Chain A
Amino acid sequence: MNSMNNIVENIKSELNPENIEIVKKNQIAIDLKNEEVHTALSYLKSQGWRQLTLLTCVDWIKENKFQLVYILMNWDNSVTVQVRTKIDRNNPKFKTIINIYPGAEMYERDVHEFFGVSFEGNPNHEKELFLELWDDIPPLRKDFDPLAYSKKKFDVREYKVDFIPKEGEAE
């Protein structure tokens, strides 16, 4: 736990995040401004967080924001850092990080496909990855209605109702 405090102090002094919290043992989350993310990622990579475990996105529809979450892992002290930043939901755009973590290319394509965030600087970010010939708004946004889409696209089997329980009758 002592080393954890050291890491937290170090991150606080170096990166000056808006908010820092210890999520659980060996896991730290930091909230940053948009323009600080790339510096922070380069710094963390130089400090040993060499693995980008995941890049994902959270839809905060009431705030009208998307939150990008970069999860980094350090194999020397097994501490995971989540770098989080919020971007505008109406015109979601962010700068790519493929020059820092080249493996992020696929994750950025993934996020673009399921949330519609475009990553400037990633030449392939608009290429489809999992969904083929998708024809609606990105499916993991909160305002997407999967049931309506499923009904529209794939017709369901209709069942004849044989028995309707009367009022008060146990089912």
Chain B
Amino acid sequence: MALENEKFNEDKINEIDVNELDCRDTLTFWEKFGNIFRSKSIWMLHYCTGCGAMELPPTMTSRFDMERIGMAPMATPRQADVLLITGYLSVKTLRRIIYTYEQMQNPKYVVGFGSCTLNGGVYYDSYAVISRLDYYLPVDLYIAGCMPRPEAVMSGFKKLMNMIKKGEALGWKRYQKYYDWYKKNQVRALGEVYVKDEFHE
């Protein structure tokens, strides 16, 4: 066991704190201008990875109604702005998520939902669930909780909108700039980023 731990320390993920790195130097006037309008009309991709998606129906429908702050669900990745990782993310889903994320148009934002995306949550010792999302995709905002209530979700979305307006939600730029680092981590966890579906062979 001790031997195994030593070995694991050797080939650990080389932690460069990508979240601290500044990608803001290229904001032009038109980007700033665009950000104001982007923040007011956000389409989130309707793709639910885990149990956290349970909190979205009340958030979307009449009681909390996220359309009043300017968000609506979208069916296809190419037309969506926000990717929600709702709850636990298994390695099998992570492959699909990476495909989906790379299909989305810039600018794009990732929101991690619940404690599973933060540190594994109750699935911290699962062989099939990743422990920390921001090693694999650039996360702009985490909403903590297991699960976060619709109030927390709404407050999180509001915060995301402010971040977009100020030009702070730059995960997609980090993903472009540190693509190799993200790819290395993805390959480390997944073996190979490929999606094979035997029912469509």
| Contact present for B131 and A155 (CB under 8 Å) | yes
Of A131, A133, A135, A152, which is within 8 A of B128 by CB? A131
The 25 sampled A-B contact pairs (Cβ below 8 Å) are A127-B198, A130-B92, A133-B191, A133-B192, A136-B127, A139-B127, A139-B128, A147-B125, A148-B1, A148-B4, A150-B120, A150-B125, A150-B126, A151-B8, A152-B4, A153-B188, A154-B120, A154-B135, A155-B12, A156-B119, A156-B124, A156-B131, A156-B132, A157-B131, A157-B132
A76 is an interface residue with CB less than 8 A from chain B = no
Residues of A67-97 at the interface with B, using a CB-CB cut-off of 8 Å, are: none
Give the dominant DSSP class at A's interface. loop
- The answer to whether residues A132 and B12 also contact, given A146-B125, A154-B130, A155-B135 and a CB cut-off of 8 A, is no
Residue of B127, B132, B188 with highest tally of chain A CB at under 10 A:
B127
Residues of A within 8 A of B (CB): 127, 130-133, 135-136, 139, 144, 146-157
Of A132, A148, A154, A157, which is within 8 A of B92 by CB? A132
Bound: A96/B2 CA distance, A: 41
Residues of B125-180 at the interface with A, using a CB-CB cut-off of 8 Å, are: 125-132, 135
B122 is an interface residue with CB less than 8 A from chain A = no
Tell me which residues across on chain A come within 8 A of B125, comparing CB atoms: 146-147, 150
- The answer to whether residues A155 and B13 also contact, given A132-B95, A133-B192, A135-B191 and a CB cut-off of 8 A, is yes
- The answer to whether residues A157 and B118 also contact, given A139-B127, A147-B125, A150-B131 and a CB cut-off of 8 A, is yes
- The answer to whether residues A150 and B124 also contact, given A127-B198, A133-B190, A135-B191 and a CB cut-off of 8 A, is yes
Bound: A99/B21 CA distance, A: 61
Q: Chain A: which residue is nearest B95 at the CB level?
A: A132
- The answer to whether residues A149 and B8 also contact, given A132-B91, A156-B120 and a CB cut-off of 8 A, is no
Q: How large is the interface on B (under 10, 10 to 19, 20 to 34, 35 or more residues)?
A: 20 to 34
Bound: A132/B192 CA distance, A: 9
Residues of B1-25 at the interface with A, using a CB-CB cut-off of 8 Å, are: 1, 4-5, 8, 12-13
Q: Chain B: which residue is nearest A132 at the CB level?
A: B92
Bound: A136/B191 CA distance, A: 12
Bound: A156/B5 CA distance, A: 13
Tell me which residues across on chain B come within 8 A of A144, comparing CB atoms: 127
A46 CB to nearest chain B CB (Å): 32
Tell me which residues across on chain B come within 8 A of A136, comparing CB atoms: 127
| Contact present for A149 and B127 (CB under 8 Å) | yes
Q: Chain B: which residue is nearest A153 at the CB level?
A: B189
Tell me which residues across on chain A come within 8 A of B191, comparing CB atoms: 132-133, 135
B196 is an interface residue with CB less than 8 A from chain A = yes
Q: Chain A: which residue is nearest B135 at the CB level?
A: A155
Tell me which residues across on chain B come within 8 A of A152, comparing CB atoms: 4, 8
Residues of B27-43 at the interface with A, using a CB-CB cut-off of 8 Å, are: none
Bound: A32/B33 CA distance, A: 75
Residue of A127, A144, A157 with highest tally of chain B CB at under 10 A:
A157
| Contact present for B127 and A150 (CB under 8 Å) | yes
Given contacts A132-B95, A139-B128, A153-B189, 8 further A-B contacts (CB under 8 A): A132-B92, A132-B196, A146-B127, A148-B4, A150-B131, A152-B8, A154-B189, A157-B132
Bound: A151/B131 CA distance, A: 9
Tell me which residues across on chain A come within 8 A of B131, comparing CB atoms: 150, 154-157
- The answer to whether residues A157 and B196 also contact, given A133-B191, A146-B126, A150-B127 and a CB cut-off of 8 A, is no
Tell me which residues across on chain B come within 8 A of A149, comparing CB atoms: 127
A140 CB to nearest chain B CB (Å): 9
